[in-house]
A and B are shown apart, each in its own frame.
Chain A
Amino acid sequence: MMGNPLDTSRSRSNLPVAPVPILLIGVPGSRRTELFQAALIRARKPAATVVSFIDLLRERTNIADLISTETVVRVDSPGKDFETERALLHAGSKAAYEEHFASVTSVEVDRLEFERGRILYPRQWYFGLCKALKIIESQLPDCYLMNNFQDIALMFDKPRCQAVLTTNGIPVARNLGEIKSFDDLRQRMIETGYARVFIKLAHGSSASGMIAYQTNGTKHRATTTVEVEKSGDKLRLYNSRRIRLYQSESEIGQLVDELCRHRVYVEQWLPKAGIDGRTFDLRIVVIAGRAAHTVVRLGRHPMTNLNLLGGRGNLEHVLDRIGSCGWANMQRTCEQVMTSCFPNTLYAGIDLRISPDFQHHQVLEVNAFGDLLPNVMCNGRDTYESEIVAISPESLQRCVV
């Protein structure tokens, strides 16, 4: 059962004091894990105990054995590790099988081989993540949590997350809903009058499986991170760092139809501002309710994810154009995302779109593990160290058994 940190009945003397024991659930040896351990050293805290998603999912570990009432639990990204991906696909196979989206059986999961960039069953992966979070929750004794499990799951269900943001009055791009096919998409675009849209995987991370599509009814244009390859009579989808341009309606239709098998949703493509000869958006990490580390993500394309090697831009140049009043509003929006939608989660990375006149903004994504911004400092600390320093009885959710 999840407790609310604000109405905990525990007295202050029972709360954690340094040294804080931290349990990190993630991928042992990964860049994220190493960077987090390094941040603990800088903050003069003991190293975290690391539990892998794989061990959890295979029931080789019981977290209860590793935890005291003062332990702070951090769940980090299971990404960028093929064995972990496989374990999550296994864990999600049953739930995925019961739905109509693309899925694979456990036997087929075992046969999968690593292929760089291949988009494997994101819906099934999401079910696997939810299952892992449930396992963690069921094993946890009384302790502290850096991130709330329902919040993580919500952030990885982008259509649902957008709906929650909308309900809470957060400015977002207008949603055209989930689509079943390219024909369905065209119909929605005609109904809504939108000529430019983003097609996104419901459970994709980063710019995975994203298409920026525009049409005036006769001309078509899609820029995308997705590459399609024929494998026998089947199509395989790959994420590429090279942005592809498609201008044939039939090719775009085929790509969209294939992507729809994995659950996609569509939102209006809001034009982004440019700075220093590039398009940009902002990644703002909110920690303990405060907008903190900010990165200008540059791109030559509608996709500005840092993974696409667009590079980081100069924040001062951007802030000069936005002005202090506008900037305060944008930071406030990001803080509101966390305080009103995710009050029990210590941090998240928020992607913010700025309009070409630098006057308007919308929240594009909320990333549960969007705090990997090495060497980006705020008040002399990187994101991980700032999160560690922010650990306090007031800022953390208590998980009470």
Chain B
Amino acid sequence: MSLYEHTAELFGKPVKEWKPGMPLDDPSGTAYRLRIDYDEAESGVTWDARFGEFLSLPASSSVTSIVVGAWGDTGPLSNSSAVVNSLSQMSGKLLSLRALFIGDIIGEEYEISWIEQSDMAPIFVAYPELEHFRVRGANGLRFGPLNHNRLRSLIVESGGLDVSVVRDITSSSLPELEHLELWLGDDGYGANAEVVDLAPILSGKHFPKLRYLGLRDSVLSDAIAAAAAHSPLLERLRVLDLSLGTLSDDGVAALLASPGIKNLEFLDLHHHYCSPEMISKLMALGIKVDTSDEQEPDEDDGESTRYVAVAE
């Protein structure tokens, strides 16, 4: 699978692509996307020019949500450090910014494994009031560790997450974090975290306010399910999201045997490799479960492989 469309929503707000000349008529209710279309990049439009023009609008200081798309290359995508730097330097102008997504880039522009990110730490220093952060692409991605007292949501989308990013996050201090979503990805595309690396999250000791945990798009879905089944987190999680991964009957059996699983409001397992029998047992749990998008293992030369939804 690839990602085919730009995001239509950011943390509950509709996304509108901003182009020069467009007024910011709903700065608090709309997430504005700044991106350089390939055709614009060809004619010489740069990120700095586009961002500068956006900031020149007085209403930009009231904008609460920004989506950053492709930052203007016709060759290989340059890494995001220039974007991170300009956003950080201009924090004095974006006084109301609460939600930020860096990397709303679709597969037709650059596949997720070709997106070059950078160290996001300057963003969190520059925006102490930031509440929601989402990033796509994990090449070159780092977070610091973070020390941030307002962040409520953190979403990292990747086709293969390096363990250093997981460790940055598990060693961060994020007392208000409610929603954590990590797309762990495929080992063929750089995923190298193991379940033990997720233990600080699953122990429930970190992130006291966590309500939504997504360990998605992983080749380790079954092992993660087994670990999550015994997690003290289940006492307070509302949503456990193991979607987009390689979950099979083994993982579901572990979830079904968990005494805490019924405390969830929602168990998201879509894109999975489970049998109809196990799915009907999940349905009998009495909680909301998404078991859509059932997959068949790929059979090649007698070998059966389960793929994650987003890797390359």
Contact = CB atoms under 8 A, between A and B. Distances in A.
A271 B75 contact: no
B111 A221 contact: yes
Given A274-B106, A274-B108, A279 B76 contact: no
B17 interface: yes
Given A270-B38, A300-B1, A355-B37, 16 more contacts: A193-B74, A214-B114, A216-B76, A219-B114, A221-B111, A221-B114, A271-B106, A274-B4, A274-B6, A277-B4, A279-B2, A279-B108, A302-B108, A356-B6, A356-B109, A359-B39
Q: Which 8 A-B pairs have the closest CB atoms?
A: A274-B4, A274-B5, A216-B76, A271-B108, A360-B39, A195-B76, A195-B75, A193-B75
Interface in A246-277: 268, 270-275, 277
9 contacts: A245-B312, A271-B38, A275-B4, A278-B4, A355-B38, A355-B39, A357-B17, A357-B19, A357-B35
Contacts of B2: 279, 300
Nearest to A212: B108
A362 B197 CA distance: 48
Nearest to B5: A274
A277 B35 CA distance: 20
Most buried by A among B1, B6, B42, B76: B76
A interface SS class:
loop
Q: How large is the interface on B (under 10, 10 to 19, 20 to 34, 35 or more residues)?
A: 20 to 34
Contacts of A216: 76, 114
A275 B75 contact: no
A217 interface: yes
B102 to A, nearest CB: 17
B74 A194 contact: yes
Contact of B108 (A215, A268, A356): A356
Contacts of B111: 221
B250 to A, nearest CB: 28
B122 to A, nearest CB: 25
Nearest to A302: B108
Nearest to B1: A300
A241 B11 CA distance: 39
A311 B33 CA distance: 30
Contacts of B73: 195
Nearest to B108: A271
B50 to A, nearest CB: 12
Interface string B65-87: 00000000111100000000000
Interface in A189-203: 193-195
Nearest to B3: A274
A275 B109 CA distance: 15
Given A271-B109, A274-B108, A300-B2, A217 B76 contact: yes
Most buried by B among A195, A215, A268, A356: A356
A246 to B, nearest CB: 12
Interface in B101-128: 106-109, 111, 114
Contacts of A275: 4-5
A302 B19 CA distance: 26
B312 A221 contact: yes
A194 B75 contact: yes
B108 A357 contact: no
B153 to A, nearest CB: 24
B7 to A, nearest CB: 11
Contacts of A245: 312
Contacts of B114: 214, 216, 219, 221
A278 to B, nearest CB: 5
A39 to B, nearest CB: 35
A245 B189 CA distance: 14
A274 B7 CA distance: 11
Interface in A213-235: 214-217, 219, 221
Contacts of B76: 195, 215-217
Contact of A279 (B4, B17, B75, B312): B4
A302 B35 CA distance: 21
Given A214-B114, A271-B109, A357 B5 contact: no
B21 to A, nearest CB: 12
A100 to B, nearest CB: 32
Nearest to A217: B76
A221 B159 CA distance: 15
Nearest to B116: A216
Nearest to A299: B4
A355 B41 CA distance: 12
A277 B42 CA distance: 26
A270 B5 contact: no
B1 A356 contact: no
Interface string B177-219: 0000000000000000000000000000000000000000000
Nearest to B2: A300
Contacts of A277: 4-5
Contacts of A174: 42
A362 to B, nearest CB: 8
A271 B39 CA distance: 9
A346 B273 CA distance: 52
Interface in A170-184: 174
Nearest to A218: B76
Given A245-B312, A271-B109, A360 B37 contact: yes
Interface in A348-370: 355-357, 359-360
Contacts of B6: 274, 356
Contacts of B35: 357
Interface string B1-37: 1101110000000000101000000000000000101
Contact of A356 (B19, B37, B75, B312): B37
Contacts of A268: 74
B134 to A, nearest CB: 19
A330 to B, nearest CB: 14
Contacts of B106: 271, 274, 356
A37 B6 CA distance: 44
A219 B160 CA distance: 15
Nearest to A193: B75
B76 to A, nearest CB: 4
Nearest to B113: A219
Contacts of A271: 38, 106, 108-109
A122 B241 CA distance: 51
Nearest to A278: B4
